[in-house]
Chain A
Amino acid sequence: AQSVTQLGSHVSVSEGALVLLRCNYSSSVPPYLFWYVQYPNQGLQLLLKYTTGATLVKGINGFEAEFKKSETSFHLTKPSAHMSDAAEYFCAVIVTGGFKTIFGAGTRLFVKA
């Protein structure tokens, strides 16, 4: 069965520092992987996705993620954190067939001035 594990329910960084949010997946077949962001009282917004091809994926707002099959990881990074990046981030995998998306428990990012 496919699953997603996000390491760290809370991450705190200083403004301008590197952001690293960790995600590991479990899948018996090549996965389709996603990162979403959720601001308070809002739905989820897609940051980036990996389906096939290039393993380094660039998304919106300066975020990127690298698919590493050998490590079953899809960590999200951003070189320099902004105050506006403070939000909840979810890693997700689509079950083969596309009928179901499985989300991780989420990581709340705090950005300190």
Chain B
Amino acid sequence: DAGVTQSPTHLIKTRGQQVTLRCSPISGHKSVSWYQQVLGQGPQFIFQYYEKEERGRGNFPDRFSARQFPNYSSELNVNALLLGDSALYLCASSLGPGQPNQPQHFGDGTRLSIL
């Protein structure tokens, strides 16, 4: 079975631009979470979506938004990019929230570089 897939793998943007990152969860998983991992730090929670609804949001500005589609895939959008947005963006899928016995499965991430 395919794991969590993210696209693109690498992306270079300039300040002020907008970016869309994509994630396809493991088949059967209905929950998708997004994390930002700055070099040398642990992942920071951005969003969780379950059944196409936002269920949790981290401490990120409104420039960050996301959505989940009927097939449970998800997009993360970041507007007005700043140099500090340079990071590895990780997507994780799980059966659903509130089920810690069902761990999150992570994709390999999208490396976003802002020039």
What secondary structure prevails in chain A residues at the interface with B?
strand
B42 interface neighbour in A42, A46, A103, Cβ under 8 Å: A103
Q: Which of A89-106 contact B (CB under 8 A)?
A: 90, 92, 94, 97-106
Interchain CA distance A97-B106 in the complex, whole Å:
20
Once A43-B4, A45-B106 are accepted as A-B contacts, the answer to whether A104 and B98 lie under 8 Å apart by CB is: no
A-B pairs, 5 with minimum CB distance: A99-B56, A43-B106, A103-B42, A98-B98, A32-B100
B interface residues (Cβ-Cβ under 8 A, vs A): 4, 33, 35, 40-45, 48, 55-56, 58, 90, 92, 96-101, 103-109
B100 interface neighbour in A42, A44, A49, Cβ under 8 Å: A49
With contacts A99-B55, A101-B104, A106-B41 known, what are 14 further pairs, Cβ within 8 A? A32-B100, A42-B108, A42-B109, A43-B108, A49-B100, A90-B43, A92-B42, A94-B100, A99-B97, A99-B98, A101-B35, A103-B42, A105-B42, A106-B40
Evaluate contact between B97 and A98: CB separation under 8 angstroms: yes
A61 at the interface (CB under 8 A from B): no
Residue from the set A43, A97, A101 with the largest chain B CB neighbour count within 10 Å: A43
A41 at the interface (CB under 8 A from B): yes
Evaluate contact between B106 and A51: CB separation under 8 angstroms: no
- Give min CB distance, A46 to chain B, whole Å: 5
Once A43-B107, A43-B108, A44-B106 are accepted as A-B contacts, the answer to whether A103 and B100 lie under 8 Å apart by CB is: no
Evaluate contact between B103 and A97: CB separation under 8 angstroms: no
Evaluate contact between A98 and B99: CB separation under 8 angstroms: yes
Interchain CA distance A41-B107 in the complex, whole Å:
11
The 0/1 profile, CB within 8 Å of B marked 1, for residues 25-36 of chain A is 000000010101
Using CB atoms, name the residue of chain B closest to A91: B42
- Give min CB distance, B22 to chain A, whole Å: 15
Using CB atoms, name the residue of chain A closest to B43: A103
Q: Which of A76-113 contact B (CB under 8 A)?
A: 90, 92, 94, 97-106
